[in-house]
């Protein structure tokens, strides 16, 4: 297993690519904090995207998933400090972890780990 830290100046591009590759994959989201422990937010919903916005002085990362009835679930992470992707040694994405300045971590886990492929169907090798 390997953890890849994404530098802040690459968040927008990396999360756009991540979203395009994983659109529709089933995900679960948990929030982890020392004060509250693990708080499940969603379970096995199709991912619609993870985006980074660089608002003046306050970057924000948004995670969006779709409910079965078409409603959207949106979770905002204010003041993010770290973005990490956890991968198997074979290159399959397992989870995305986003930490905030307040000490909370949002952990987006895939229902099934799989090696993402490019638009040409070739396994991605970052």
Distance between CA atoms of residues 15 and 10, nearest Å: 8
Neighbours of 8 (CB within 10 A): 14
Q: Which CATH class is domain 2-114?
A: mainly beta
Non-local CB neighbours of 85 within 8 Å, separated by 6+ positions: 3, 4, 6, 18, 93, 95, 96, 97
Cα four-point dihedral sign 55, 100, 87, 50: negative
What's this model's pTM, rounded to 2 decimal places? 0.84
pLDDT at 91: 85
| pLDDT(14) > 80 | yes
Distance between CA atoms of residues 29 and 27, nearest Å: 7
What is the token pair recorded at 46?
Answer: 């199709």
In the chain the beta strands, taken as DSSP E runs, fall at 2-6, 26-33, 37-55, 58-66, 72-78, 80-87, 93-100, 105-114
Question: Tell me: the pLDDT tens digits for 35-72?
Answer: 888 899 999 999 999 999 987 778 999 999 998 888 99
Q: What is the mean pLDDT of the chain?
A: 88
Distance between CA atoms of residues 61 and 81, nearest Å: 10
């Amino acid at each position: 297993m390997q953890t890849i830290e994404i530098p802040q100046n690459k968040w927008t591009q990396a999360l756009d690519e991540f979203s395009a590759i994983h659109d529709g994959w089933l995900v679960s989201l948990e929030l982890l904090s020392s004060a509250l422990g693990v708080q499940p937010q969603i379970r096995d919903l199709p991912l619609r995207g993870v985006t980074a916005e660089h608002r003046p002085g306050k970057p924000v990362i948004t995670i969006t998933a779709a409910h079965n009835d078409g409603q959207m679930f949106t979770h905002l992470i204010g003041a993010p400090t770290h973005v990490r992707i956890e991968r198997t040694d074979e290159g399959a994405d397992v989870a995305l972890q986003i930490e905030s300045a307040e000490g909370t971590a949002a952990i987006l886990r895939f229902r099934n780990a799989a090696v993402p492929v490019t638009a040409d169907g070739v396994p991605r090798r970052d």
